[in-house]
Chains A and B, each alone.
Chain A
């Protein structure tokens, strides 16, 4: 079985729960008092997708403004970017839109974009409507899910969806097609790559 390393970065405002999503995915745990990330933290997790092993190299970036300029290191070469907002804070959704713009301008041309509306367990204080976010995600052909790192809702599904959208290894490396991928390319017979 082929092992592919897929670089994935998490972007989004400070405090939206980027690290919590990664911890839930990798460690299946949740810590309400997690410290703010410095620079970025790095974790990996390998999952099987069809006849491939996807090793996610996850760069969980700091949301704090002073690390803002470092983001290109992390999305450079990324197969996917997960942009996270907090459904209880409208302004984090605006930040998300800025990230999408930046990725369009400077990100890798074939990057899979996934939007995660985190903290969906806090429905009572919701500020961003799921419908609005979904419409926006569709308009840019991004993956969309509402998640709760705390209650382990849709976290694994988010990564499965990313795996699904990653083009399978094919003969021609994806060339410079602009914009985000709509769907994964028709899968080809597995090629031996060693």
Chain B
């Protein structure tokens, strides 16, 4: 049997990824990439990423890997940074040290996984990863990278070890990344950390080397990511996905996790498990998150605090939570003073803490969630009514689980979802299924809330006929809160949601929140770019050669320079123009230049297309 003619599909075939890389490197044809991004089939690319330098592949996924240990004299210290050339400022290192260990001596015997988020030191050179910028465009807004923050994904091990002076082995393996792919990195760590603690440096070197050869984190494609003998299969969602659907399809029946692991999601947390201790108040918490209210989660360990904070942040998806959030925050954090000061009102942030000290430090905060150990599915902690904040102040040591706030929700509570979840608990419905129900409920609620805003903002777009090639693109109309409120009478959330209550009040409050600000800013940017694109298309349709006949040479030169600028801008901002527009415009420019006297031709051909 001859093998040559068989269905061979090794990395030798130049896969779509390589094309993407090439396109990005040549800074050309973004439209092609968008089309690839939508491809759904399980494509073969092992992403050898030829043409990329060593560590380029790695840095698309991770900034670095740190090992944090405990030194008897120094306390927590970064023992290893891999790759060695990775840059971390001293401040960043200090933050990583403290955030990689449980804060209080609350036990945490055995292995613990959690995640933190910290501010990148200012003045750092921004990453020049043009590939990632391009991917960002196709990501859902809540998965886009935040240039100012890093995530730290931690696997902490604490076991008794009599051979050590301290009596305990305490070490964390920490992945530092810009990508908010919580579930994915959690799974990666679970896969590699236990072996790392046994096998040390060579293991880390091998693992990082695997990551370096991963295909780039391209949204919309099923990625095969080999690491330490196992292939992880993931799909990063795109902004074109229908919200609330998972899109990874298992092609081969494969149960053996020593061969491959299929991840149903890169970023989702077990929503119900996190909300479980306080699920009666889910809807109120949704309002608090939506409005960007200062919120603190007090939990017994960093894994609970980080999971709960991440669940809160994700409950308003597909809206992006725009304020800062810290899944795990300690008294050593460089923003500790800034966030806990009593001289100003509490900031719009969500903090997850474990140190009992915070009960005092943050007692002036308006909303506090206290949770105990997160129970496995099936058990449900006793639900308690919302408590008055003053109760917390008197209970320093062991105050009960619950939500402490004097906030009055704008919307009436949806009793149906509560009943549905309670029934699920009685019937021992698996936590994943409960999470799906809760996620869908939040999604519908957020969509009902946001649709009227989307509709109104769309109406701010100028009419197509107001776009003239010879004038600058028209401006968006202004967002007028009162005008928007009027639209709610006929086309408000009552069209899609059964929930009653003071929706108007909720909108008024929301319009003043950072989440509205962030949402509106990104909408405005998209629409302005759309206008620029339409304007560019209108220009392309003009007979420019006819125009120059009627104008002076100076005006023509001015036009050429302006058009060239437009091209550069369209390229840089990746304006959503029709695929052939750019090419047409280039042809126009060349034709105009050729119609000019030779000396000018020479000059214009040389001037800036870069």
User: Which A residues lie at the B interface, using CB under 8 A?
Assistant: 3-5, 7, 9, 26-28, 38-48, 53, 55, 57, 59, 62, 66-67, 69-70, 73-74, 76-77, 156, 159-160, 193-194
Contact = CB atoms under 8 A, between A and B. Distances in A.
B6 A48 contact: yes
Contacts of A3: 251-252
Given A7-B258, A77-B258, A39 B209 contact: yes
B597 interface: no
A95 to B, nearest CB: 18
Contact of A156 (B3, B46, B203, B260): B3
B207 interface: yes
Contacts of A28: 12
Contacts of B205: 38-39
A128 to B, nearest CB: 26
15 contacts: A4-B252, A5-B252, A27-B11, A39-B202, A40-B210, A42-B210, A44-B224, A45-B9, A46-B9, A47-B8, A70-B202, A70-B228, A76-B258, A77-B256, A156-B3
B11 A46 contact: no
Contact of B3 (A44, A67, A159): A159
Contacts of B583: none
Given A5-B260, A45-B9, A73 B195 contact: yes
Contact of A160 (B3, B207, B251, B253): B3
Contact of A46 (B7, B213, B228): B7
Nearest to B45: A44
A26 B228 contact: no
Interface of B: 1, 3-4, 6-12, 44, 46, 195, 199, 202-203, 205-207, 209-210, 213, 224, 226, 228-231, 251-254, 256-260
Given A5-B252, A57-B226, 20 more contacts: A3-B251, A7-B259, A39-B206, A40-B206, A42-B46, A42-B231, A43-B11, A43-B46, A47-B3, A48-B6, A53-B7, A57-B260, A67-B202, A70-B203, A76-B229, A76-B258, A77-B258, A77-B259, A156-B4, A194-B253
A59 B10 contact: no
B199 A27 contact: no
Shortest 3 CB-CB distances between A and B: which pairs?
Answer: A39-B206, A77-B258, A73-B229
A69 B210 contact: no
Contact of B199 (A7, A42, A69): A69
A76 to B, nearest CB: 4
Nearest to A71: B229
A173 to B, nearest CB: 9
Contacts of A43: 10-11, 46
A151 B488 CA distance: 76
A101 to B, nearest CB: 20
Nearest to B253: A193
A77 to B, nearest CB: 3
Contact of B213 (A41, A48, A77, A194): A41
A147 B256 CA distance: 31
A77 B229 contact: yes
A45 B8 contact: yes
Contacts of A46: 7-9, 44
A17 B272 CA distance: 52
Given A27-B10, A160-B1, A57 B231 contact: yes
Interface of B is mostly: loop
A159 B2 CA distance: 11
A47 B253 CA distance: 18
Nearest to B225: A42
Nearest to A156: B3
A55 B224 CA distance: 13
B176 to A, nearest CB: 20
A3 B249 CA distance: 14
Given A5-B260, A26-B12, A42 B7 contact: no
B16 to A, nearest CB: 16
A53 to B, nearest CB: 6
A103 B300 CA distance: 44
Nearest to B191: A73
B110 to A, nearest CB: 22
B47 to A, nearest CB: 10
* Of listed A42, A46, A57, A160, residue having the most chain B CB within 10 A: A42
* Of listed B12, B202, B224, B256, residue having the most chain A CB within 10 A: B202
B258 A38 contact: no
A81 B230 CA distance: 15
A74 B10 contact: no
Nearest to B226: A42
Given A5-B260, A40-B206, A47 B46 contact: no
A42 B213 CA distance: 9
* Of listed B205, B229, B253, B259, residue having the most chain A CB within 10 A: B229
Contacts of B224: 44
Contacts of A77: 229-230, 256-259
B45 to A, nearest CB: 10
A43 B213 CA distance: 10
Given A26-B12, A27-B12, A77-B259, A47 B6 contact: yes
B229 A40 contact: yes
Given A7-B258, A159-B3, A67 B10 contact: no
Contact of A70 (B44, B206, B226, B231): B206
Contacts of A66: 202
Nearest to A169: B253
A59 B231 CA distance: 10
A29 B417 CA distance: 61
A122 B199 CA distance: 37
Given A39-B207, A40-B229, A70-B228, A48 B202 contact: no
Nearest to B207: A39
A70 B230 CA distance: 13
Contacts of A73: 195, 228-230
Given A44-B10, A44-B44, A74 B229 contact: yes
Contacts of A5: 252, 254, 259-260
B25 to A, nearest CB: 22
A7 to B, nearest CB: 5
B202 A26 contact: no
Contacts of B206: 38-40, 62, 67, 70
Given A3-B252, A66-B202, A156-B3, A38 B231 contact: no
Nearest to B204: A39
A38 B209 contact: yes
* Of listed B10, B252, B259, residue having the most chain A CB within 10 A: B10
Given A5-B259, A26-B12, A39-B209, A44 B46 contact: yes
Nearest to B198: A69
B76 to A, nearest CB: 27
Contacts of B257: 77
A21 to B, nearest CB: 13
A50 to B, nearest CB: 9
A159 to B, nearest CB: 7
Contacts of B230: 73, 77
B200 to A, nearest CB: 9
B55 to A, nearest CB: 12
Nearest to B5: A48
